[in-house]
Amino acid sequence: MAKKTIIVDAMSGDNAPRAQIYGALQGGVENDVRIVFVGKEDVIKNIIFEYQGSIPEYEIIHAESVLTMEDAPSTVMGEKSDSSLALAVKALKEGKGDALVSSANTGALFTAASLILRRLKGVRRAALGAVIPLEKRFLLLDSGANLDVTPEQLLQFAKMGDVYARVVMKRLDPTIGLLNNGSEEMKGTPLQIETYKLLKESGLNFIGNVEGDKLGKCDVVIADGYTGNIALKTIEGVAKFSLGEMKNIFSGPCGAIAYLLVKKKVLKLKKKIKPAESGGAPFLGISMPVIKAHGGADSYAFKIAIGQAKDYIDALKIMKESDF
């Protein structure tokens, strides 16, 4: 079986290019995949030369410009069409790799993927998934790409999420929940009420409406992008606050002694809620595998995203055979 190839946008992200390159090299070795770096060739070569660990098979595609977080998403198809992001998406389209990982501007990456790679046959809207750690890791879909959706589109999100949870997250019979302001069947706006009916009749393992404090009970949570993004940012904000307060609790001499007594449990909790452990956000519904790594991803987070991209290749094959 031919080795899988992951294309890496090496220049996009707050910590680029070092975090992206180091993470991709680590992920390439650990997952036995080939890496195609896209970016400024001399910069990439110098960082690889400095790297101290094992190096996987790799290739470099030169890209002169970089699309920044401040650039409008539309520029990826216009004046920044020679950027590392644009050329990475084009390389995936041309078959130079099996999947793409990028820390670029979410809007620009989604725009390029939608226009260059197109959607899966039968899929009306592609959606941005976010893997979130609460009681267990779950997929929140959509988490920001589509503010205005129909019940039929949310049903498609649920079907794609079911496949992703089975193949990538290794859930045997994924539970599907609909994010709502109450658990009763008739709760919510007409969008939630009609979507509930479709999900109930879908054959999926639909467990009904879930409120914000019950999200960790599901494997896949379905929402429109507006509601999903608010939920995502709220969870991230509470997690950041909690980690900060934990640090304050264990400050000072007494806190340091207390920390030693519970160190293993604290480190386990920090690892569980650390965003890096979840990898990146998959673009479900796009015809080829694209993973949006966090804009502030460090090398560890990017390494996790490489493994996630490898698994998503297999999940997408199943999605292509599904009836949407």
Domains and CATH numbers, the chain: 1-123+285-324 (3.40.718.10), 132-275 (3.40.718.10)
pTM recorded for the entire structure = 0.88
For the segment 215-259, what is each residue's pLDDT rounded down to a tens digit?
889 999 999 999 999 998 888 888 788 878 888 888 888 888 887
180 or 316, greater pLDDT: 180
Q: In the prediction, which pLDDT does 2 show?
A: 81
Residue 1 has pLDDT above 70, yes or no: no
Per-residue confidence (pLDDT) for residue 47, from 0 to 100: 97
> pLDDT at position 22, please?
97
**Banded model confidence at residue 275, pLDDT cuts 50, 70, 90:** low
Average pLDDT over residues 210-214: 91
Q: What is the pLDDT of residue 106?
A: 87
What phi and psi values does residue 100 have, to the nearest 5 degrees? -130, 140
Say if residue 276's pLDDT is above 60: no
**pLDDT value of position 26:** 97
CA–CA gap between residue 276 and residue 271 (Å, rounded): 9
Which strands make up the sheet holding 127-133, listed edge to edge?
A: 58-62, 34-39, 5-9, 99-102, 290-292, 281-284, 127-133, 137-141, 220-222, 176-179, 206-210
Task: Give CA separation, 296 vs 173, 227, 321, in Å.
Answer: 33, 23, 35
CA atoms within 13 A on the CB side of 1: 5
Mean pLDDT of 122-132: 92
pLDDT at 270: 66
Average pLDDT, rounded, for the chain: 90
What confidence score (pLDDT) does residue 274 get?
63
- State residue 30's pLDDT score: 96
Tokens of 73: 């998403």
Contact 129, 140 (CB under 8 A): yes
Please report the pLDDT score of residue 29 as a whole number: 97
Give 297's pLDDT tier (boundaries 50, 70, 90).
Answer: confident
Has residue 113 got a pLDDT over 90? Answer: yes
pLDDT tens digit string along 137-184? Answer: 899 999 988 889 999 999 999 999 999 999 889 999 999 999 999 989
In the prediction, which pLDDT does 235 show? 85
Mean pLDDT on 291-303: 91
Asked whether the predicted pLDDT for residue 312 surpasses 60, the reply is yes
37-46, 219-228, 284-293, 308-317 — which is least confidently predicted?
308-317
* CA dist list (Å): 233 to 32, 48, 131, 317: 34, 35, 13, 31
pLDDT band of 101, cuts 50, 70, 90: very high
Task: Give Rg (Cα) of the chain.
Answer: 20
